[in-house]
Amino acid sequence: MKIVILGFGTVGSGVYDIIANGDTRMRVTAIFIRPTHPATMPEMTTDLDAILNDPTIDVIVETMGGLHPAHDYILQALQHGKHVVTANKAVVAKYLPEFTAVAAQHHVRFYFEATTGGGIPWIRNLERATRIDQIDTIEGIFNGTSNYILDQMQRAHLDFDPVLLAAKDMGYAEADPSADIDGEDVVNKLKISAALAYNMAPPRDVPTFGIRNVSKADIDFFASQHQVLRLIGKSKRDGDHYSMVVEPRLYSETALAANTFENFNLICLHGQTIGDLQFYGQGAGKYPTANAIVQDLYDILENAPHLDRSFDQPLHFDANLNVTDYVLRADPMTFAMFNDRETEIVNDRLVIKQIPTGDMHKLMRGVLAIDADAFMAAIGDSELAAKDVLHQQDQEVIG
């Protein structure tokens, strides 16, 4: 099987290494690079047309990232009768139904295991679960960078900025870490997962709040209450309605999520007959992600088809499908926004009880307009912990 890699960064070079030192039935015959990139290997080329029009090329591996020109390159490859494997979660989250339809029209495969969960075989197992069950919940730690930051802030007692710098030095965070710390990376992975689980096109907008504003004082306060903070993506289905949210969430210190350390991921699904399935492993990195790409290449080589999806299930997005408690750290003058809710003040923080998720995220935008450094976290309503209740030693706070 002859393979071309588009882009030769961290993941692309990892794919090359695995193939070069692995199965002789696979061979990388070309590596597409941008004209500004120096050609340091004989396989490197800037001629995409030659690649697309070469009938001997079987598979295109896209590792360039971003929406454009990746979207155009993937479409052209499929239209030229090439299978495509990608790790690009942003382009898949936005164009998955289109890519799937074009691949079917041209009798080729479009696989994307590496987009979600890094080396965890999440996509493949999610597809398998949907063959039997209706999946009603997806929840998890989808981003290794944010998990590393929160874990180090708690266990090493550090503040946000030095941990973020360390994450960059270790290669966990990009030079611009916005997608990781603001939750957009998790949004893309959650959209892909929900699209497969529910066979529908995901919504354009998902309520999202990241960890940019979390402070050491926040982490220390939660730890004093035997709680651990994690950035979570969650989707829930109830009949023909479903929800999606990305937000920080508190877990009891004995929960699995609380004990998912460093850059690891933990992703859970719940099905009607299988119950809870949880998947744990390296969520990012050169070789874990490259490994997932090569697994897809093996499926193409061995003619192992993945689940067909039309993404046309008529479901309705409802941001308020979930109702839970939140803890808010902000300028006290913002607390008046919640006067019509049941609340309690704990250590200068406001606990808002049983508020719909969509409503809380809307109100949080108003809070941030007054206090740009404000921070919130959800309490409870979790598939990854049996109990998420914020405790105060001297007074009880209902979670």
SS3 state at 353: strand
> Do the beta carbons of residue 197 and residue 310 sit within 8 Å?
no
Query: Per the residue annotation, which of 89, 94, 189, 236 is the catalytic one?
Result: 189
What would the DSSP string read from start to end of 91-110?
Answer: HHHHHHHHHHHHHHHTT--E
SS3 content of the chain, % helix, strand, coil (to 5): 35, 25, 40
Alpha-carbon distance of 13 to 31, in angstroms, equals 10
Q: How many CB atoms lie within 10 A of CB 62?
A: 26
Alpha-carbon distance of 383 to 142, in angstroms, equals 14
Residue 248, preceding bond cis, omega within 30 degrees? no
The pLDDT tens digits along the chain (399 residues) read 999 999 999 999 999 999 999 999 999 999 999 988 889 999 999 999 999 999 999 999 999 999 999 999 999 999 999 999 999 999 999 999 999 999 999 999 999 999 999 889 999 999 999 999 999 999 999 999 999 999 999 999 999 999 999 998 887 888 899 999 999 999 999 999 999 999 999 889 999 999 999 999 999 999 999 999 999 999 999 999 999 999 999 999 999 999 999 999 999 999 999 999 999 998 878 899 999 999 999 999 999 999 989 999 999 999 999 999 999 999 999 999 999 999 999 999 999 999 999 999 999 999 999 999 999 999 976 555 433 444 443 344 433
265 contacts: CB under 8 Å, gap ≥ 6: 117, 118, 120, 140, 141, 142, 143, 144, 147, 279, 280, 281, 282, 283, 284
**Rg, the chain, Cα only:** 22
Beta bridge partners of 5: 31, 61
Alpha-carbon distance of 373 to 273, in angstroms, equals 44
Alpha-carbon distance of 112 to 91, in angstroms, equals 11
Question: CA-based diameter of the chain, in Å?
Answer: 73
How is residue 320 written in tokens? 């308020």
Which amino acid, 354?
Q
Q: What Cα–Cα distance (Å) separates residue 57 from each residue in 25, 52, 54, 61, 71? A: 13, 8, 6, 11, 19
End-to-end CA distance of the chain: 55
Beta bridge partners of 328: 350, 376
Instruction: Identify whether 189 is a catalytic site residue.
Output: yes
Q: What Cα–Cα distance (Å) separates residue 395 from each residue in 91, 173, 332, 342? A: 48, 39, 20, 16
Alpha-carbon distance of 202 to 116, in angstroms, equals 15
Strands of the 110-111 sheet, one edge to the other: 44-45, 27-32, 2-6, 59-62, 83-86, 110-111
- The DSSP H or E segment spanning 90 is helix 89-105
**What letter does residue 394 receive in the DSSP assignment?**
S
How is residue 292 written in tokens? 């997932």
Going by C-alpha positions, the residue among 96, 98, 24 that lies closest to residue 301 is 24
